[in-house]
Amino acid sequence: MEDSVTHEDARVPPIEGVAGGGTAYGWTDGRVQFSNLSKGSVDPMKVLTSELVHVWSMPSTANVGHQESPRPLEPVSLLAARNERESLQIALRPKVSWGGSGIAGVVHVQGTDLCSGSGDRLFFGKSITIRHVVPILGVPDALVPIDPLTSVRLFPGETTALWISLDIPSSQSPGQYLGEISITAVKPDKILPAQNFGRIERQKIYGELKGCIDLLDPIEGKPLEEVVERVNSVGSSLRRVLLSPAFSELLSDDGWDDVMEEDAISDLSVRVKLNVTVWDFVLPTTPSLPAVFGISDTVIEDRFGVVHGTDEWYEALEHHFKWILQYKISPYFCRWGDSMRVLTYTSPWPANHPKSEECFSDPRLAAYAIPYTNNNAVSCNSVVEGYLRNEIENLRMKSHWKKAYFYLWDEPLNSEQYNSIRTMASEIHAYAPDARVLTTYYCGPNDAPLAPNAFEAFLKVPKFLRPHTQIYCTSEWVLGNREDLVKDIVAELEPENGEEWWTYVCMGPSDPQPNWHLGMRGTQHRAVMWRVWKEGGTGFLYWGANCYEKATFPSAEIRFRRGLPPGDGVLFYPGEVFSSSKEPVASVRLERILSGLQDFEYLKYYSSKYGRDEGLALLEKTGVYLGPERYTLEHMPVDVMRGEIFATCRS
Amino acid sequence: MEDSVTHEDARVPPIEGVAGGGTAYGWTDGRVQFSNLSKGSVDPMKVLTSELVHVWSMPSTANVGHQESPRPLEPVSLLAARNERESLQIALRPKVSWGGSGIAGVVHVQGTDLCSGSGDRLFFGKSITIRHVVPILGVPDALVPIDPLTSVRLFPGETTALWISLDIPSSQSPGQYLGEISITAVKPDKILPAQNFGRIERQKIYGELKGCIDLLDPIEGKPLEEVVERVNSVGSSLRRVLLSPAFSELLSDDGWDDVMEEDAISDLSVRVKLNVTVWDFVLPTTPSLPAVFGISDTVIEDRFGVVHGTDEWYEALEHHFKWILQYKISPYFCRWGDSMRVLTYTSPWPANHPKSEECFSDPRLAAYAIPYTNNNAVSCNSVVEGYLRNEIENLRMKSHWKKAYFYLWDEPLNSEQYNSIRTMASEIHAYAPDARVLTTYYCGPNDAPLAPNAFEAFLKVPKFLRPHTQIYCTSEWVLGNREDLVKDIVAELEPENGEEWWTYVCMGPSDPQPNWHLGMRGTQHRAVMWRVWKEGGTGFLYWGANCYEKATFPSAEIRFRRGLPPGDGVLFYPGEVFSSSKEPVASVRLERILSGLQDFEYLKYYSSKYGRDEGLALLEKTGVYLGPERYTLEHMPVDVMRGEIFATCRS
């Protein structure tokens, strides 16, 4: 393309405006410059990919939708601790179409290992992974894995985003690691042979080969001259077949693998340079903040067709358990009963099963839920005699007992529900006086007001429930934008008696406060954990990570539940919806939760060295988080804060 | 899928809401019913397509975006006159994924001819065509042709729309025509062989065939026994090749066409029933309303790399001319000069060229522009001596001269610009006193106010310009929502002296008034012509149909011009952006313009029988159009109005 177009790369695409004058393009426009693309069709093997595709990077907190505008391509610098995941996005938008039917074109995405000056490596495909950002309800959210060398289809007028994650092993040597991700436009027919070509071509070859067989078949007993003639005819046929387009690539001397390699990265590729600084801080294996997230067993049973208690069922739950642990989240399985009674359990096996021991003692698990009743219970009344006592006796002497909690009821609303909690908690405490009962709430009992106004009544819940609850887990929604009210909540608790304050988000709070709904800004997703750190809670609960609407087939369409804000209760998706893989597909929101939890560790580390007040000052000074409605909308301050922590804490 | 899911087909997908309670899915949900889809993978050759895909129809005025919610599938009934195009949409949304990497699945779309009881036919592929609705800036707009039997890819969580058009030939027998469009889920690998399969497979076959050639090649002079042995070995090889998966489909006894047929429509397909009533009214070949639309020659020259005046250039312009005529639009080519001086010409050839005669006498052309200066002019000053006089003398005695007009200036703003029009018009009228000069305007000269207020000054323009303009073409924007002002405009004209009132839309009026911007409602696009009919203008002008931002390669990305509302000046797209076809790609807005022009013919026909007042009453009674801000948002009234015209006017 000519210069003027190249200089326009960074231009924003069309927007509604009032500048006017858009029609004056004609007589006075000067001479026309022709493209150096050959007129007509584009051969991506002969043209720089940069002439065909806009390529630029975006931070992980950007929501890169199909309408995202191209920006200049700049090298990417990232900071990462050990045992940390850092992510970035690469956006692609076609400048021309070279793809044929309905697509603008196809690109290969490939990367190199990242290498340090001292020869250490972060391996591409292992520490560096690439996923495709797929919109859900039009919002970029699902991260569908792509294999290296897999083609990515680009569509006319659409921006496509790739999510690049770097997972730094705990043992990685600190240092600067350099490498690149390359984007190479390829011929679509190399990847997706057009239907008719494939079929007609094959039919032709088939006919030709069948003719050869017919010529050769009745050869016995024929005179030599005829045989030779027939053989020569067959030879010509076969040579003709080998010259057909189907085999044209194979005629070259190059081996196949070389061709692939050449395809993958060439002088024509766009290279996105990565510069990753790995520093000596190692994020703790056991997350500092217990973040307990619900996974609906019912949804798993229905969608994957696994019957409760079968081998397949245990397998499916274990698969989910292990997968979510990657995100520094401590899962609990859950199902709801009447009046928001809830059955929660982190291990599907009984406490004395070796698998439970493996699960509870996993150092990445920060907290685990023990079921009040057998998880086979189809109703909350089917309590197995002695079950609870056995479970507790099996666990209370273990070193991991300090991670245990009982979560019995989701948001009790009236005296009867509060009484149910008291009854169950009494039984639990009879077997283990030091057991932690967790209760989520956002108000007092509505039929017996604890105070004249709602907030006062909410504040009195600990007094009302004591000693039947140890973890008072309150909705962030209650605070509104009044973070000063935190001190009133905390003042009601008795930490000296083991009482803790945790928080949660669900339907509320809504925009502009931090939450994980679809369509919120990226920093808004990440800010949930900044808020937790600033407010000082010692744990966090989220009600559901897989709570889509009921479906009974693994690849059934994903529907959010009616009445909930989109994305609420859904942090990952069934892999089967997007490909043949059974691996769950994370949302960008889940990645931002992980980033938030990692920021929490950075802030904690910094505060452990310079005091909590300095940590709070840093959060404020950098503009990252000042309050529930005052936090950064842009990414830059986040990197500034992390960079400051790195600069002052590095050894 | 189990019954409960089937019954939910018509349910709207997730919306943000306040109903709450979405979490209560668990213990009390009753027994789980398993799908009759085999657990794990889906074989679309064994399952009803209706279990895999939501299929439903939508009217042509619906903007069917990716988030459109499924509705129940109902048979479609349409009414169409002869020489009319009627369109509908079929929407598809996957219920499950069966497609593998990144796509939900693939469907074949096929249709039957529509047949009447008396054996007449509307041919599928000829009178019935299918296009794929592709979003532009996220709004469904571009209509990309698909071949029958071409596969359509569906994406998880996305609705895909197909645009079905019926073109009724003028000679078609009236009657009821029945037929169907069928949607069949297919295995993706039948259409898009996976990359590795194709390559590895071909490599294997290649090796095998090369081995055969090597065996046969040095056969001359070999003893017969060895020859036979070699030939037998080659025979085995070839049989092995023919048994390979690449040819498996070809081994059956069925001919290829049968296999295709079987693929295309099977008992598993979803069938959308079409019932089209063709009535005896024939839309006039020459449109009743001259609708003159600009096509930028500069854009064609730049994008397609055709040099002004070359054979290729004439070909490109003629191609555009003929293509746009389909839409009952009379095109003019245009380029802009200084101060919105504009060079316009309908035929690129000189007036005495046979091609011009062919063009001007085309009965589908309602009006044509004659250039004031040679269209080879690179600036407006390069007037070729005698050119204008020659052109006019060549044309003024022809019967099509009544279609001719001169469009010299786009929206003059000051005395100097008005004077330029006067000078040029004087010259034109010197050669042909009956020549029509068209001037677009929305205000009087700003440096010499014609009246104390802007609207009064605008009204005085005819008095100011007379006799240098015959077609007073005013912006609909000037009226605001005051259609009563029309009478003030008309009162200033002298129809007895051949003066006409035409209108135009461009940047304005904006929402909620009728215009053709991207993102407006479908009825809002169609309402532009309802408005023209109601206001009584005798012609309509639109400044540009292909005015995207400059690009110098046919398949270069489409960018709207800065400062203009999206879609303004762009009614079709270069086909090369979407496929290898050079045929322009219509927008849904262009289709709605055609529908509006057809509605104009219906209303004119009705009024010719019952009087204009009855026509106005019908427009009002059905709620189709009452004023610039009061017209139907839904499709139904449009069909009611057309049905009423059919019912009362049919012979």
Residue B142 confidence class, pLDDT cut points 50, 70, 90: very high
How do the residues of chain A divide into helix, strand and coil, expressed in percent and rounded to 5? 35, 25, 40
Q: Which among A242, A544, A560 is the nearest to B209, CB-wise?
A: A242
Q: How would you write A102-119 as a 3-class SS string?
A: CCCEEEEEEECCEEECCC
Is residue A257 scored above 60 in pLDDT? no
If you average pLDDT over residues B541-570, what whole number do you get?
Answer: 94
Is residue B647 scored above 50 in pLDDT? yes
Both tokens of residue A603? 């802030």
Query: What is the spatial distance between Cα A169 and Cα A282, in angstroms, rounded to a whole number?
Result: 9
Residue B242 confidence class, pLDDT cut points 50, 70, 90: confident
CA–CA distances in Å: residue A372 to residues A34, A75, A391, A393: 75, 53, 9, 13
Residue B91's closest CA among B140, B59, B57, B136? B57
Q: In chain B, whose CA is at the least distance from the CA of A103?
A: B578
Across the interface, whether the CB atoms of B580 and A100 are under 8 A apart is answered yes
pLDDT in tens, B577-616: 998 889 999 999 999 999 999 999 999 999 999 999 999 9
Question: Which residues, listed in sequence order, are joined to residue A503 by a DSSP beta bridge?
Answer: A474, A540
- Residue type at A581 in one-letter notation: S
Q: Which among B96, B101, B155 is the nearest to A553, CB-wise?
A: B96
Is residue A24 scored above 60 in pLDDT? no
* Average pLDDT over chain A, rounded to an integer: 88
> Which residues have C-beta within 8 Å of that of residue A487, sequence separation ≥ 6?
none
Query: What is the spatial distance between Cα A52 and Cα B420, in angstroms, rounded to a whole number?
Result: 45
> Alpha helices, DSSP H only, in A306-436?
311-325, 354-360, 387-395, 415-431
Both tokens of residue B503? 């209108």
Both tokens of residue A560? 């959010």
Query: What is the spatial distance between Cα A631 and Cα B46, in angstroms, rounded to a whole number?
Result: 54
Cβ proximity of B55 and B183 under 8 Å: yes
Query: What is the spatial distance between Cα B528 and Cα B515, in angstroms, rounded to a whole number?
Result: 6
Q: How would you write A72-92 as a 3-class SS string?
A: CCCCEEEEEEECEEEEEEEEE
Contact B576/A at CB under 8 A: yes
Contact A32/B at CB under 8 A: yes
Q: What is the pTM of this model?
A: 0.85
Cβ proximity of B44 and B100 under 8 Å: no
What is the model's pLDDT at position A651?
Answer: 77
**Sign of the C-alpha dihedral, residues A282, A288, A293, A297?**
positive
Max avg pLDDT among A60-74, A145-159, B31-45: A60-74
Residue B323's closest CA among B147, B552, B572? B572
pLDDT in tens, A305-356: 999 999 999 999 999 999 999 999 999 999 988 778 899 999 999 999 999 9
* Average pLDDT over chain B, rounded to an integer: 88
If you average pLDDT over residues A541-567, what whole number do you get?
Answer: 94
Across the interface, whether the CB atoms of A553 and B135 are under 8 A apart is answered no
CA–CA distances in Å: residue B396 to residues A550, B351, B500: 74, 10, 19
Residue A439 confidence class, pLDDT cut points 50, 70, 90: very high
CA dihedral B331, B337, B342, B343 (to 10 degrees): -60
Cβ proximity of A290 and A203 under 8 Å: no
Residue A126's closest CA among A90, A76, A87, A167? A167
Residue A228 confidence class, pLDDT cut points 50, 70, 90: confident
Report B:395-454 residues touching A (Cβ under 8 A).
410
Q: How would you write A143-179 as a 3-class SS string?
A: EEECCCCCEEEECCCCCEEEEEEEEECCCCCCEEEEE
Residue B409's closest CA among B368, B381, B437, B448? B437
Min CA distance, A232 vs chain B (Å)? Answer: 8
* Helix A588-610, helix A522-535: angle, nearest 10: 30
Burial of B114 (0-12, 13-18, 19+ CB in 10 A): buried
What is the model's pLDDT at position A205?
Answer: 80
Q: Which among B39, B238, B561 is the nearest to A14, CB-wise?
A: B561
Is residue A456 scored above 60 in pLDDT? yes
Q: Which of A209-213, A242-246, B289-293, B497-501 has the lowest average pLDDT?
A: A242-246
What is the model's pLDDT at position A218?
Answer: 76
Q: Which among B191, B210, B552 is the nearest to A2, CB-wise?
A: B552
What is the model's pLDDT at position A240?
Answer: 78
Residue B526's closest CA among B128, B60, B57? B60
Across the interface, whether the CB atoms of B26 and A337 are under 8 A apart is answered yes
What is the model's pLDDT at position A193?
Answer: 38
Across the interface, whether the CB atoms of B250 and A206 are under 8 A apart is answered yes
Residue A147 confidence class, pLDDT cut points 50, 70, 90: low
What is the model's pLDDT at position A40?
Answer: 61
Is residue B34 scored above 80 in pLDDT? no
Q: In chain A, whose CA is at the least distance from the CA of B580?
A: A100
Contact B337/A at CB under 8 A: yes
Is residue B519 scored above 70 in pLDDT? yes
Residue A380 confidence class, pLDDT cut points 50, 70, 90: very low
Across the interface, whether the CB atoms of B26 and A336 are under 8 A apart is answered yes
Q: Which among B144, B256, B543 is the nearest to A102, CB-wise?
A: B144
Q: Which of A385-389, A514-518, A530-534, B114-118 has the lowest average pLDDT?
A: A385-389
Using a CB-CB distance cutoff of 8 angstroms, which residues of chain B are in contact with residue A582? Answer: none
Using a CB-CB distance cutoff of 8 angstroms, which residues of chain A are in contact with residue B559? Answer: 13-14
> What secondary structure does DSSP assign to A276-293, as a single string?
EEEEEEE--SS-SS-EEE
If you average pLDDT over residues A363-375, what whole number do you get?
Answer: 92
Q: Which among A150, A555, A563 is the nearest to B42, CB-wise?
A: A555
Query: What is the spatial distance between Cα A107 and Cα A150, in angstroms, rounded to a whole number?
Result: 8
The residue assigned the tokens 């005829």 is A226
- Residue type at A369 in one-letter notation: A
What is the model's pLDDT at position A142?
Answer: 98
Query: Backbone phi, then psi, for B433, in 5-degree steps?
Result: -60, -25
Query: What is the spatial distance between Cα B147 and Cα B110, in angstroms, rounded to a whole number?
Result: 9
**Count of CB atoms situated within 10 Å of the CB of A237:** 19
Is residue A35 scored above 90 in pLDDT? no
